[in-house]
Amino acid sequence: MTQITRTRHLVALEGLEHGRLHLRTPEGQQYQFGSTGPEADIEIRDWSVLARLAARGNVGLGEAWINGQWHGSSLENVLALMLRNAAPDWSAPGPFSALRGRLAGRVLRRATRAPGWAGNEFFQLWLDPGMSLSGALFAEGDDLAAAQARKNARIISRLSPGKRLLDISGQWGSFAEAAAGSGYHVTTLAGNAAQKGYADARLDGRAQVALQPLARAVRHPQSYGAFNNIVAIEALETLPERDWPAFFSLIKANLAPGGRAIVQSVTVPDAEFSMHRSRADLVRQHLMSGGVLPCNATIMRDAAGAGLSLRAQHDFGADYALTCRMWRAQLQDKTERLQQLGYSSRFLRGWQFYLEGCAAAFAAARMDVVQFELSHTAEAQS
């Protein structure tokens, strides 16, 4: 990395408009950019981070963090500053526009599989006791467990009167347990054998658990029966975009007349969807197979195409930022134990980047989480 290249990147940061950035170089030199607003700090530990950034954009930025080539006392603050200084039109000319686009683009997608997928014991150490890997709904004074229970309770309160319920959320049976406890006759899909074993043990016959990855369910549709209610909590965004119409067709085919479907999904703003789907990032390149976050417009389009209509929706993205911060704190608290179990520092730094990046994006309204209430179109129009 030449001195000229280093200087060019430092000069680009002089255009910082929102917030203040303190930067320390490997040689110990310190720079201050920006004059007002929230503060963030970056320590560049190896100048090769700039080469990664130039060659691989936001993917390189995330990889450099995982490799320990740069650091910040608050990763969320750094990524939030990048988002505040990233105009939606990142194709605009100018060196700072290009740099800030590369820095901010990494955190504008939420992947359901963050850096490396692990077994049940990994998640048991830092999720809430109910094992919910989805956005919680907070009221004042709630801890994470109470907020996850509140999220489940809100969904249950929006269901139709019928008691047959299909849960296609997958995971470890948190919502299925809540619904069964409220008197619903639940069939829930588990995404893998470890999750099925956990769900079977916790539900102990109170719900039927089927080993059926969602991708297989939508690509090879079958009738699970006529259900009065269908719930999908952050399941849609685990699928490639090409499968979204089939996802809603699966709901339509299994929803009884007069029934309700609640789809909780992470979304990006409608105006940014085209850019979002065309940009690579660390998680999408290394860990997902074509995963893209939907926007409200694509959800409405694909639901309507399947014969479903929107009855109501509830947005709570700021609560998801708090969820991610609590997850991050609990993950940090369990670092020593996780390392004893064999999880490497790189693995855990990847999860840190993921969680704090999501917190920054939700807080900046660059991502949202929405509960969509759907019914058969003919019924919604009557």
pLDDT tens digits, 51-108: 777 776 666 777 888 889 999 999 899 888 888 876 443 333 333 434 433 443 443 3
Name, in order, each residue with C-beta under 8 angstroms of 153's C-beta and a sequence gap of 6 or more: 178
Instruction: Please state the pTM of the whole predicted model.
Output: 0.86
CA 17, 19, 25, 30 torsion-angle sign: positive
How many CB atoms are located within 10 Å of the residue 121 CB?
12
pLDDT band, very low/low/confident/very high, at 281 (cuts 50, 70, 90): low
pLDDT tens digits, 216-247: 999 987 777 799 999 999 999 889 899 999 99
- Tell me if residue 328 falls in helix, strand or coil: helix
Name, in order, each residue with C-beta under 8 angstroms of 47's C-beta and a sequence gap of 6 or more: 1, 6, 25, 26
Residue 97 to residue 300: CA distance in whole angstroms: 33
pLDDT tens digits, 294-345: 999 999 999 999 999 999 999 999 999 999 999 999 999 999 999 999 999 9
Q: What are phi and psi of 72, to 5 degrees?
A: -145, 145
